[in-house]
Structure 1
Amino acid sequence: MDVRRRGTVRPIRHVGDPVLHRPCAPVTRYDEELDELVEDMFASMYAAEGVGLAANQIGVSLRVFVYDCPDENDEFHKGVVVNPVLVMPAVGERRIDTHDEGCLSVPGQRAVLGRPDRATAHGFDPTGNPVTVKGTGLLARCLQHETDHLEGRLYIDRLPGKRRKQLLEDYRRAASSPAAR
């Protein structure tokens, strides 16, 4: 990836936008257009002060996400995964990490959500070379969260029904308040 270019900040799509609620298509071309998308994704993620971003969050229904976040040891990791396949620890080897989670596509809202504390994403970089990202801590959560996006799921879809309903009501109320306009 050419880091000299900055990319263009694109608007983040919010809950209810159809692009967020359907599975994304696999990337089939590793070209300049993909490079530009990745640059735009990083620019958009940083502008929104996020730690991860899936392509559909900026309206592009392709299986690619970017991340820049710490692991359990506070060591930062930055990268891109194209066409990710998420591998989780076996059920008997999983430890569930219960933490607050939020999403740029559901701004202003957070909820406690349990996820495995380790995850591995296999995929490709923007040039088509294989990559494997092993995550712990927030990085593990990010790999799971962004892969969920590419499957057409938001973190709120994993919440119990009553909690999800309350969170969406709070989101709608905040979005319609005069201060949000």
Structure 2
Amino acid sequence: MIYPIVAYGHPVLKTKAKDIDPEEVDVKQLVNDMFETMYNANGVGLAAPQVGKSLRLFVIDTDPIDDGDEPKVKKAFINPQIIEEAGEEWAMEEGCLSIPNIREDVFRQEHLKLQYFDEDFNEHVEEFDGFTARVIQHEYDHIEGILFTDHISALKKRLLKGKLTNISKGKVKADYKMAFPKLK
């Protein structure tokens, strides 16, 4: 099932998500639906709040990005916790399916150690670097109620204010179905 992507301005995007209880959520189905939704929107990551679910879950697939020698990662991360972020911060232009047509440089650390559960609720502690670490940090921010625009300067935020308001009102073109919080 392909979900509509929740647009900027919806309260679920600014709310810290709740841990998943495997007895209450069909995790495997939700993970499959999220991958399908992400691929439909040509994304490399998608967090549950972006489909209107305030749950600590995100999926990534870095295969579509040609980033040299870095290994490709396709995974679901359930109830993740960042254990450590390390290394020098480096800038890269980021975008977000919930904020279409806006891209800005965001500084993130190059190394990440993460504890999480997979869709079978097996626990993992894993380390990630480079682009994969960046995608995970971006999606992790979503389950913490943080958007990539929260990482940019106040001046850039003011310059984007009109575009962001238009996105929340549905005045934006996207190649995928979206849910707009202020659409009348």
Q: Shorter-normalised TM-score: what interval?
A: 0.7 to 0.9
Aligned to 1:5: none
Aligned to 2:72: 76
2:83 aligned to which of 51, 76, 87: 87
Q: Which consecutive residues of structure 2, in runs of 5 or more, have no partner in the other structure?
A: 175-184
1:64-95 Cα offsets, whole Å, 9 max, x none, are 010001577232110011000013345xxx21
Superposition TM-score, scaled by structure 1 size: 0.85
Aligned to 2:181: none
Aligned to 2:151: 158
Instruction: Compare relative contact order (CA 8 Å, sep 6+) and give the higher one, 1 or 2.
Output: 2
User: Which of the two has greater strand per residue?
Assistant: 2
Deviates more, 1:131-140 or 1:169-178: 169-178
Aligned-residue Cα RMSD (Å) equals 2.3
Deviates more, 1:34-43 or 1:64-73: 64-73
Q: Which consecutive residues of structure 1, in runs of 5 or more, have no partner in the other structure?
A: 1-7
Aligned to 1:141: 134
2:126 & 2:141 partners in 1: Cα distance? Answer: 16
| 1:92-131 → structure 2 map (5 Å cutoff) | 94-131=87-124
Aligned to 1:47: 40
Asked whether the 8 Å contact 2:18–2:56 carries over to 1, the reply is yes
Deviates more, 1:25-34 or 1:8-17: 25-34
Superposition TM-score, scaled by structure 2 size: 0.83
1:11 & 1:97 partners in 2: Cα distance? Answer: 32
- Give the paired residue count: 171
The 3 A distance-change label for structure 1 pair 156 and 29 is same
1:78-133 Cα offsets, whole Å, 9 max, x none, are 0011000013345xxx2111110111110000001110011122110111101234
Aligned to 1:17: 10
Asked whether the 8 Å contact 1:53–1:146 carries over to 2, the reply is yes
1:137 & 1:84 partners in 2: Cα distance? Answer: 19
Following superposition, the deviation at residue 176 of structure 1 comes to 7.0
Asked whether the 8 Å contact 2:9–2:168 carries over to 1, the reply is no
